[in-house]
Chains A and B, each alone.
Chain A
């Protein structure tokens, strides 16, 4: 098993010297060879710091980082077989596209014709053939990011780190680049470690998602399990939209929400344990009055193209629904849900697991 892990983090903690804040707290993580792993979390959650420690730009305050089982914690970035794609591309403005991409190969003192061949091949891979002589400033953002990706993968690193590489692109371009990144990933078969705050991006591309908050891993798993079975309210809230409401677990498969007993499928809680109930908006269904588990007043309906975004006020909670069927604002409706679509979670035990409250 050990040799399969290309990157390992062991008890890695990073405390910033200037303000003493802890960016990453006692993190343990193993990345397997060839995997596409995404660090996902809000800004300040420690994802970029973790990436920078793997790249070598930051050194852990304690703990160690292993590459192929070898401790590289003290190795400077130029000695690591790891390359980075930066959020702001970070191309060399004084070099043309060819020399930008050839930068790493020239430092390795490869013969000129081999460099030429590799640069040509990688430019084809990122769909930028013929741009060799161009100046970086004449490229659009998307083109610059392609060059940045080419500049990194041409070195055939063991691990490619991507620090929110699509963050500066507009939505449509971002979608295209996501597909392209996945294609490139398949072609080069390099381990990708990707950092983003965009949950859609993470769900689309990753083999495995590491959800982080406040320097701590909240949950790790494949996209489906992260989305369908969030382990705490933070993950549920951060990945997709959710109704998160207080509940009491009366017994196995029965939860009380706002004084209403609702059937669910979760077991293994203490009797009368206080829990967080998480329900995805698309799982709630508008029904006739009295036909659901609760009734409420439709306060707001927004047409979102693929669905209607509906808010229903029931007692002191405003439910958030996404439905194919519209409802009339001002009317009273019922809300129903299938038991298997209710997620029950333990309340956070420590402050580290605190829910990210939306305002």
Chain B
């Protein structure tokens, strides 16, 4: 007991850090959101997202975030299915290759994408060279989506890869043995077993792509107004910290609500397992087979 308590002290630096840089700023934002410029209590800023301009930005942000998350999932799964079959040496090279862009500065990458996508950029030069008409991608939603997918794909792929590479080859063989064709093996075994990875992938991709504003700034050419852009402008240009805070709080609440879907799901699947392990303790159990029991939850 004592030892455990002492061990808990190791968490102190982090606790101090998060109080200082997460909790206190959060309360500051909450306070800003709930008062007007004169310091009187109001909820009008928190409900400011209902105004037509803000609501539109909210919906576009949601739309882009959903599209980006879906694209990332659709790109990640086939890729992971290929990578997991590679030999170790090739596999590490592929993973390295996929993560490498993350070593480059984020702004630089977005500027590079801007160069590629702009109306007389590299992409249209190539298209023209091949005899195709030029595409108008720069400063559209499509450009923002490409940017977000480009930036967040590794964050979708890695957690999915981790859960899928944990699936034993014999489990997949068992599914085939029991009559499952390749598609059924994926749908009935690989997909459900990779759900934890998919969930964290969605969380990591959906939340930042909903709140991002830099990508929209650079690739949207200032024409795409996401909710993140509006919040940013309230703080930097309009100097209306109260409105900015109010929008931030409502965005945060929205995120919390949408993420509880995933979390609630996990609580539901966890409960029966815990009940069983209680039951199991009462029974003498035959152990000693040397098989590690991983809890896949």
Report A's interface with B, CB cutoff 8 A.
55-57, 76-78, 82-84, 86-94, 103-104, 107-108, 133-135, 137-138, 140-144, 151-152, 155, 168-170, 173
Contacts and interface: CB of A to CB of B under 8 A. Distances in A.
Interface in B254-297: 272-273, 276-277, 280, 285-291, 293-296
A220 B179 CA distance: 32
Given A86-B174, A135-B272, A140-B286, A94 B291 contact: no
Interface in B165-201: 168, 170-171, 173-181, 184, 188-189, 192-193, 195
A93 B289 contact: no
A133 B271 CA distance: 13
A90 B171 contact: yes
Given A78-B179, A78-B181, A135-B276, A140 B285 contact: yes
A134 B276 contact: yes
A176 B277 CA distance: 26
15 contacts: A55-B173, A55-B177, A57-B176, A78-B180, A92-B193, A107-B178, A107-B179, A133-B272, A137-B294, A138-B277, A140-B289, A141-B290, A142-B289, A168-B289, A170-B289
Contact of A86 (B170, B179, B195): B170
Contacts of B286: 140-143, 173
Interface string B144-173: 000000000000000000000000101101
Nearest to A89: B291
A134 B188 CA distance: 19
B296 A138 contact: no
Contacts of B288: 141, 170
A82 B296 CA distance: 29
A94 B192 contact: yes
Given A135-B276, A141-B291, A92 B179 contact: no
Contacts of B276: 134-135, 138
Given A140-B289, A141-B289, A168-B291, A90 B184 contact: no
Nearest to B293: A137
What are the 7 A-B residue pairs with the smallest beta carbon separation, nearest first? A141-B289, A104-B178, A90-B170, A90-B174, A140-B286, A107-B179, A77-B176
A104 B171 contact: no
A78 B177 contact: yes
Given A55-B177, A168-B289, A170-B289, A92 B277 contact: no
Contact of A92 (B181, B189, B195): B189
B170 A169 contact: no
B294 A155 contact: no
A76 B184 CA distance: 14
A104 B175 CA distance: 8
A152 B273 CA distance: 25
B170 A135 contact: no
A140 B287 contact: yes
Interface string B191-229: 011010000000000000000000000000000000000
Contact of B179 (A94, A108, A143, A170): A108
B177 A107 contact: no
Given A57-B176, A134-B276, A138-B280, 6 more contacts: A93-B294, A135-B273, A138-B277, A141-B290, A169-B289, A170-B288
Contacts of A108: 179
A322 to B, nearest CB: 28
A103 B175 contact: yes
Interface centre among A82, A134, A140, A169 (most CB of B within 10 A): A140
Q: Pick the most buried of B174, B179, B189, B291: most chain A CB atoms within 10 A of its CB.
A: B174
Contact of A155 (B170, B178, B272, B273): B178
Given A88-B291, A140-B287, A170-B289, A107 B273 contact: no
A260 to B, nearest CB: 48
A94 B170 CA distance: 15
